[in-house]
Amino acid sequence: MQAQNVVVSFKNIQKTYGGVKAVAAISLDIRKGELVCLLGPSGCGKTTTLRMLAGFIDPTGGDISIEGQDVTKLPAYRRDIGIVFQNYALFPHMTVAKNVEYGLVNIGMRKAERRERIQDILRRVELQHLSDRYPRALSGGQQQRVALARALALQPKVLLLDEPFSNLDAQLRVRLREDLHGLIKSLNMTTLFVTHDQEEALTLADRIVVMNQGLVEQIGSPEEVYDAPASRFVAQFIGTCALLEGNIDGSGLFTSNGGLRLPTKANPGPATVVVRPEFVRRADELATLQAHHARVEASDYHGHVSRLQLSIGYDQLLMDARFPVGMKPQRGDTIKIAIDPGGVRVVPNQV
């Protein structure tokens, strides 16, 4: 990675509130045009991190720089960032156009140029026909786009988004997510995005920062955090999985405490293994592998698949599978399954 490509750099950023660590220590570089997502459960410190970058919260320790310039002590209005709030924070006493114009006036842009810029940005978010409306006369989705337009009008170095879809209904959420992704990418906008919704993070982000209790658990591409979780927390927070505790011997064979054996390529020692439900298959689909007899403890129908809770001896597994009509196993049945070794991940045991 080339240093001049880095737009935002957090160096060991911390924030404590009266002794309680909201953010313990975060170091992160965001490259030009990259869409990075802070993902974690509610209260893990995502908003605090975002607001420290915006300049609304003073870090207790560490440095933040934007394009190489240290901004840690710079007030919010001197940082080149744009932000979209969870509730959008549109100025209720100004029309859509005035909201977008607000920042342009503050940087002393001339009127003609302002008008052009407003036109341009409103066209991009498809709101030009609503430019004289007041925010309260807009739908949630439209408000979100105004907020976005207002932030983008200043062409900031970084765009910050704090749970921008949480106030929208499920259908709209997916559509706006795609629109937003297209817009940000077409502008090559460097973006830091906060969410607690793993699906949102997986579909949008170039890189995901998984946070837990003020700490970074893992930084990686969506594929990395899903396929190679760095911790039990990441494995459980992103997607669904079964966790098995056990030991790995010299040949890489994992033996769970319940007795289930799975081949791995990991080093010997105590280990936790992650098995995602889509890698547990019917034995007839993976005939070359060792089959296990599993007892069905529960089954839920999810439409495209059925999710089964299985027990093999003392070990619990989850399985996503399709069954022909009338063939779906019931609670108490015993079925034969095989585990795809490609889906078995070893997670380092926490110290």
Asked if residues 122 and 100 have their Cβ atoms less than 8 Å apart, the reply is: yes
Side chain identity, residue 5: N
**Residue 25 lies near another protein (rule: CB under 8 A):** no
Work out whether strand 306-312 and strand 292-301 pair parallel, antiparallel, or are unpaired.
antiparallel
Stretch that binds ligand ADP, among 45-53, 91-99, 108-116, 315-323 (CB under 6 A): 45-53
**Residue 56 lies near ligand ADP (rule: CB under 6 A):** no
Stretch that binds ligand ADP, among 2-10, 41-49, 147-155, 260-268 (CB under 6 A): 41-49
The residue from 22, 35, 118, 216 that contacts ligand ADP (CB under 6 A) is 22
Report in angstroms how near the CB of residue 80 gets to another protein at its nearest.
9
**Residue 47 lies near ligand ADP (rule: CB under 6 A):** yes
**Residue 58 lies near another protein (rule: CB under 8 A):** yes
Q: Which of residues 36-55 bind Mg ion (CB under 5 A)?
A: 47
Stretch that binds another protein, among 23-31, 81-89, 221-229, 274-282 (CB under 8 A): 81-89
Largest CA distance in the chain: 75
DSSP letters, 88-149, are ----TTS-HHHHHHHHHHHTT--HHHHHHHHHHHHHHTT-GGGTTS-GGGS-HHHHHHHHHH
Residue whose CB is nearest to Mg ion in the complex, by number: 47
The residues, ordered by sequence, that sit 6+ positions from 52 with a Cβ below 8 Å of its Cβ are: 13, 15, 23, 58, 59, 64
**Residue 232 lies near ligand ADP (rule: CB under 6 A):** no
Nearer to ligand ADP, 47 or 198 (CB): 47
Question: What are the E-state strand segments in 196-286?
Answer: 207-212, 215-220, 242-248, 253-256, 261-263, 269-275, 280-282
Look up tokens 């399709």; give the residue.
322
Nearer to another protein, 78 or 265 (CB): 78
Query: Distance (Å, rounded) from C-alpha 125 to C-alpha 121?
Result: 7
Report in angstroms how near the CB of residue 83 gets to another protein at its nearest.
5
Terminal alpha carbon distance of the chain: 30
Query: Distance (Å, rounded) from C-alpha 145 to C-alpha 171?
Result: 16
The interface partner of residue 150, options being ligand ADP, Mg ion, another protein, none and the CB cut-off 5 to 8 Å by kind, is another protein
Side chain identity, residue 40: G
The interface partner of residue 76, options being another protein, Mg ion, ligand ADP, none and the CB cut-off 5 to 8 Å by kind, is another protein
Question: What are the E-state strand segments in 241-291?
Answer: 242-248, 253-256, 261-263, 269-275, 280-282
**Residue 195 lies near Mg ion (rule: CB under 5 A):** no
**Where along the sequence are the contacts to ligand ADP (CB under 6 A)?**
17, 22, 40, 42-48
Footprint of Mg ion (CB under 5 A): 47
Q: Where along the sequence are the contacts to another protein (CB under 8 A)?
A: 51, 54-58, 73-79, 81-83, 85, 87, 89-93, 102-103, 106-107, 150-151, 154
